[in-house]
Structure 1
Amino acid sequence: MSDEPLLRPTEIDRIREGIAAAVLGAPEGLADSLEHDAHGYLRLVDASRVGAEESSRLLREAVQGARAAGHSWDTVGRVLGVSRQAAQQRFSGKAGEAGSSAPPGEGSNAPKRRTLGGLTAFDEMAALEEAGRDGWHVVGYGPFYHEVEASSHPWEHCRVALPSAARHRRMESEGWIPVGAGWFPWRYYKRPLNPGT
Structure 2
Amino acid sequence: MTAEPLLAPDEVTRIREGVAAAVLGAPEGLADALEHDPAGYLRLVDATRVGAEETGRLLREAVQGARAAGHSWDTVGRVLGVSRQAAQQRFAEKALAPAPSGPADGTGSGGAERRVLTPLSAFNEMAALAEAGRDGWHLVGYGPLFHEVEASGHPWEHCRVTLASGGRHRRLEAEGWTPVGTGWFPWRYYKRPLRPAGDA
Question: Could you tell me the TM-score, scaled by structure 1's length?
Answer: 0.91
Q: Report what 2:143 is aligned to.
A: 142
Distance, in Å, in 2 between the alignment partners of 1:188 and 1:103 is 17
Residue segments in structure 2 that go unaligned for 5+ positions in a row: none
| Contact residue 27 and residue 47 of structure 2 kept, 8 A | yes
Runs of 4+ off more than 3 Å: 95-98, 105-109, 163-166
**Aligned partner letter, 1:190:** K
- Alpha carbons of 1:28 and 1:172: their partners in 2 closer, same or farther (altered >3 Å)? same
| Contact residue 105 and residue 111 of structure 1 kept, 8 A | no
Q: Report what 1:48 is aligned to.
A: 48
Distance, in Å, in 2 between the alignment partners of 1:93 and 1:106 is 22
Shift of 1:105: 4.8
Q: Report what 2:70 is aligned to.
A: 70
Report SS of the residue matched to 2:93.
Answer: coil
Shift of 1:95: 5.2
Q: Report what 2:124 is aligned to.
A: 123
Q: Report what 1:12 is aligned to.
A: 12
Distance, in Å, in 2 between the alignment partners of 1:122 and 1:30 is 41
Q: What is the identity percentage for the equivalent residue pairs of Structure 1 and Structure 2?
A: 74
Q: Report what 2:101 is aligned to.
A: 103
| Contact residue 24 and residue 47 of structure 1 kept, 8 A | yes
**Aligned partner letter, 2:121:** T
| Contact residue 136 and residue 155 of structure 2 kept, 8 A | yes
**Aligned partner letter, 2:172:** M
Distance, in Å, in 2 between the alignment partners of 1:55 and 1:8 is 20
Report SS of the residue matched to 2:94.
Answer: coil
| Contact residue 5 and residue 79 of structure 2 kept, 8 A | no
Distance, in Å, in 2 between the alignment partners of 1:72 and 1:103 is 29
| Contact residue 156 and residue 191 of structure 2 kept, 8 A | yes
Distance, in Å, in 2 between the alignment partners of 1:110 and 1:96 is 26
Shift of 1:104: 1.2
- Alpha carbons of 1:97 and 1:177: their partners in 2 closer, same or farther (altered >3 Å)? farther
- Alpha carbons of 1:111 and 1:62: their partners in 2 closer, same or farther (altered >3 Å)? same
Distance, in Å, in 2 between the alignment partners of 1:42 and 1:186 is 32
Distance, in Å, in 1 between the alignment partners of 2:19 and 2:11 is 13
| Contact residue 126 and residue 158 of structure 2 kept, 8 A | yes
| Contact residue 163 and residue 187 of structure 1 kept, 8 A | no
1:34-66 deviation line (CA, Å, top 9, x unaligned): 111000000000000000000000000000010
Shift of 1:94: 2.2
